[in-house]
Structure 1
Amino acid sequence: MENFSLKGKVIIVTGGTGVLGEAFVKGIAQAGGIVGILGRNEQVATERAEAIKQSGGEAIALVADVLNEADLIAARETILGVYGRIDGLVNGAGGNMPGGVVQPEDDIFSMNLDGLRQVLDLNLWGSIIPTQVFGQAMTKDGGSIVNISSMTAKHVVTKVLGYSIAKAAIDSYNQWFAVEAANRYGDAIRMNAIAPGFFLTEQNRTLLTQPDGSYTLRGNLVIQNTPYKRFGHPDELVGALIYLLSDASRFVTGTVINVDGGFSVFSGV
């Protein structure tokens, strides 16, 4: 269907050099979009942009830290200089860090507050700041912003306190910004989110799997509480992403789409 096409749309993907980011940028390119692959790793961003070009798509590498406003402004000016517009933003940068994990043996009244704050900054401010910078370019012609939520935003998942706080805040921001953008710009700018279930990424792989690929105790608990009885594959997030970036979702704002194999609706019984 034509409504699901991203042909000619210029989409920025922060965290475009990560595991989920790789699936995002490939999916957008396959749907016809022009992808701005934004990340701190210039080599990976460039390699992914070149791979898309060799496959007949269009992409540009953008080197920036999502917490550095000056970096992001420079990236915005680069993309506007080449294409003259920005039609979409995927706030894909984020993830967990060891400092934001509270182990069962840790004293919950003596937590690593700096570590928790660092994870909060990356996931929350690492979405708000890019929205400020790239969203400003959408006020003229409109566009779609997609955040990355998490199962931890609505369900208690032990250990990952910093990440959980950040993703709960993302859900609140997702709703607030959607309403405020509508109040100011009508139906031109929309904001939605995808909430992945459990996918193996570089940040959580050691929590969920052993070096030989077998599941840890935590990994087994996740599988036990996921009706599909498996982890998700990054490519399985792409359908929801394309929908939210495309004109097919132009009357959708402030919502969160769960892509979780049923985890969010299963009681465990």
Structure 2
Amino acid sequence: MENIYSLKGKVIIVTGGTGILGNSFINGIVEAGGAVGILGRNKEVADERAEAINKKGGQALALVADVLDEASLITARKTLLDRFGRLDGLVNGAGGNMPDGVLQPDEDIFSMNLDGMKKVMEVNLWGTLLPTQVFGDAIAKTGKGSIVNISSMNSKRAITKVLGYSMGKAAVDCYNQWFAVELANRYGDAIRMNALAPGFFLTEQNRNLLTLPEGGYTQRGGLVIKQTPFKRFGNPDELIGALVWLLSDASAFVTGSMICVDGGFSIFGGV
């Protein structure tokens, strides 16, 4: 019987492939039988991860590019197609927050760093849209494929401080639904777009914000745990099942959706 969850024979590119969540994404794709393009700005990490996968018998290619630099993305696309000859999927894993997009409680709400907010919005929204333009074209030429965007709990609930990030991810959600419809209008069920919405997972960007060096949670980390019915942060590998499902033929009738992997955070009313 055919395994519809398998990614065997598929080539998937992961932007943000040098990050913590990106590492789980690329390993999960390889474990499901797919070949992976590891795209990020950190050449050393991309090379290390590709080498480790190839040594174990998988297929991986390091690609150095900035998701906001179209020329570097086009070069990465050519490199990948020269190696594999096709592209079946894209995971828009690049994004995140930065200090200039944060409003602290003691700061004047009417004197926000708007340039900082725009910068964070840009990396999350345009850092999703631009790779889709470049790599989506290659998927269309392959004839069939799946695109997975990365949403966030911040797009559906008001979470203090991180306004720039929240606006960026809310825009990604709008784009995810709009573009999924347009893909269907033009390609039928051949090219799908969906979003994965992680809850709170510890990364290098948020570790100091949520946990204490000596162990335990910061005040903010404690509030997150209180609002998460599972009463813990997620493990990056716990995103793999939903991601592989969205990339595989097992989700052939799914498009424009947002899959929450959040320990119940998005549904809990706090009471």
Residue 87 of structure 1 pairs with residue 64 of structure 2: no
In structure 2, distance between residues paired with 1:84 and 1:77? 9
Alignment of 1:145-160 (within 5 A): 145-160=147-162
SS of the residue corresponding to residue 13 of structure 1 reads strand
The residue type paired with residue 161 of structure 1 is L
The aligned residue for residue 103 of structure 1 is 104
The residue type paired with residue 16 of structure 2 is G
Which deviates more, 206-215 or 61-70? 206-215
TM-score by length of 1: 0.99
In structure 2, distance between residues paired with 1:55 and 1:168? 38
The aligned residue for residue 249 of structure 1 is 251
**Backbone CA RMSD of aligned residues:** 0.7
Q: 1:166 aligns with which of 165, 168, 190?
A: 168
In structure 2, distance between residues paired with 1:73 and 1:227? 43
In structure 1, distance between residues paired with 2:128 and 2:204? 20
In structure 1, distance between residues paired with 2:131 and 2:22? 15
Q: 1:217 aligns with which of 216, 219, 224?
A: 219
The aligned residue for residue 73 of structure 2 is 72
Give deviations 1:222-246, integer Å, cap 9, x for gaps: 0001000000000000000000000
Q: Structure 1 residue runs of 4+, over 3 Å off?
A: none
Q: 1:266 aligns with which of 249, 260, 268?
A: 268
In structure 1, distance between residues paired with 2:101 and 2:65? 23
The residue type paired with residue 255 of structure 2 is T
SS of the residue corresponding to residue 147 of structure 1 reads strand
What is the aligned residue count? Answer: 269
In structure 2, distance between residues paired with 1:182 and 1:88? 16
Quote how far apart the aligned CAs of 1:213 are. 2.7
SS of the residue corresponding to residue 4 of structure 2 reads helix
Structure 2 unaligned runs (5+)? none
SS of the residue corresponding to residue 176 of structure 2 reads helix
Give deviations 1:88-129, integer Å, cap 9, x for gaps: 000000111001010000111100111111111111000000
The aligned residue for residue 187 of structure 2 is 185
The aligned residue for residue 17 of structure 1 is 18
Give deviations 1:179-212, integer Å, cap 9, x for gaps: 0000011111100000000000111111101122
In structure 1, distance between residues paired with 2:46 and 2:94? 13
Quote how far apart the aligned CAs of 1:54 are. 1.3
The residue type paired with residue 99 of structure 1 is D
The residue type paired with residue 97 of structure 2 is N
Quote how far apart the aligned CAs of 1:139 are. 1.3
The residue type paired with residue 200 of structure 1 is L
The aligned residue for residue 27 of structure 1 is 28
Give deviations 1:4-32, integer Å, cap 9, x for gaps: 00011000000000000000000000111
SS of the residue corresponding to residue 137 of structure 2 reads helix
TM-score by length of 2: 0.98
Quote how far apart the aligned CAs of 1:53 are. 0.9
Identical positions, percent: 71
Quote how far apart the aligned CAs of 1:138 are. 1.3
In structure 1, distance between residues paired with 2:104 and 2:129? 29
Structure 1 unaligned runs (5+)? none
Give deviations 1:53-93, integer Å, cap 9, x for gaps: 11111000000000000000000011111111100000000
